């Protein structure tokens, strides 16, 4: 079966750095996505990785290792507005998105 | 620019009543359209997707149905709601070939079945 694993919840301090991990086992691989979802709202796109390595976009970076079936989302200089759920999703060989359950990130002052 | 809208935003329905959620996309043509459901603490569950007018693929057996009467219109329906249909419903679109690598979501519709 296809599976995406990520921690259920994480807590971090304002101004700090946090890394959210995602491991996957899917039928084929055509890319990995990270989305941010604030409570009661729709998900919004953060990043897309299809090749190994680190993609940096401002305070957010996403890393992919296809051989390990592993990705992480790195958030730097945390702000209170970063409190949200972070969803990992993999595009499989049929170009269908397989979603993780999301990681709820709580930022404390 | 492209936009996606879905409505209603919130609804409370009794068990056994019908349902209709509507989604429209503007600023693009031939989009792939999706209906997802998100239960509390769960990942997004794909319900239906459509690659063109009248073309609907169902991912899970259920008492819901979907229709695409126009290129940029996607409707989610039910004749008789169940308690288990409660959840957060999201419409989404991507371009025909998924070339941008991004799924665009509507605002979401929160359904409570009592």
pLDDT score of B40: 77
Whether residue B97 is predicted with pLDDT greater than 90 in this model: the reply is: no
* Contact criterion met (CB < 8 Å) for B46 and A96: yes
Using a CB-CB cut-off of 8 Å, the residues of chain B touching A48 are 101-102
Q: What's the burial of B62, exposed, middle or buried (CB within 10 Å: 0-12/13-18/19+)?
A: middle
User: SS3 letters for B32-55?
Assistant: EEEEEEECCCCCEEEEEEEEECCE
Query: What would the pLDDT profile of B65-83 be if each residue is shown by its tens digit?
Result: 999 999 999 999 999 999 9
Query: What would the pLDDT profile of A82-102 be if each residue is shown by its tens digit?
Result: 999 999 999 888 878 889 999
Q: CA-CA distance, A63 to A73, in Å (whole number)?
A: 7
When the pLDDT of each residue in chain A is averaged and rounded to a whole number, the result is 95
B 38-97 → A contacts, CB under 8 A: 41-46, 90
Nearest CA in chain B to A50: B101
Residue A30: partners with Cβ closer than 8 Å, 6 or more residues away: A50, A91, A92, A93, A95
Average pLDDT of span A30-54:
94
pLDDT score of B99: 52
Give the count of Cβ contacts less than 8 A between chain A and B: 44
Ranges A24-33, A70-79, B36-45, most confident: A70-79
**B103 near A CB under 8 A:** yes
Q: CA-CA distance, B31 to B25, in Å (whole number)?
A: 8
């Amino acid at each position: 079966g296809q599976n995406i694993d990520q921690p259920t919840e994480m807590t971090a301090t304002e101004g700090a750095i946090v890394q959210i991990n995602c491991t996957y086992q899917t039928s084929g691989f055509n890319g990995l996505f990270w989305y941010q979802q604030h409570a009661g709202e729709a998900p919004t796109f953060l990043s897309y990785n299809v090749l190994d390595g680190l993609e940096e976009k401002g305070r957010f970076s996403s890393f992919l290792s296809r051989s390990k079936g592993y990705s992480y989302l790195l958030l730097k200089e945390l702000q209170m507005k970063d409190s949200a759920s972070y969803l990992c999703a993999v595009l499989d060989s049929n170009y269908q998105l397989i979603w993780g359950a999301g990681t709820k990130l709580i930022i404390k002052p | 620019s492209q936009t996606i809208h879905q409505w209603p935003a919130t609804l409370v329905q009794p068990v056994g009543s019908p349902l209709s959620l509507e989604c429209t996309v503007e600023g693009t043509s031939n989009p792939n359209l999706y209906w997802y459901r998100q239960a509390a603490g769960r990942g997004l569950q794909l319900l239906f997707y459509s690659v063109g007018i009248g073309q609907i693929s169902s991912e899970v057996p259920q008492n819901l149905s979907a229709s695409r009467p126009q290129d940029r219109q996607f409707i989610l329906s039910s004749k008789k709601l169940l308690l288990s249909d409660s959840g957060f419903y999201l419409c989404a679109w991507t371009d025909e070939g998924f070339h941008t690598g991004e799924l665009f979501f509507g605002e979401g519709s929160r359904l409570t079945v009592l």
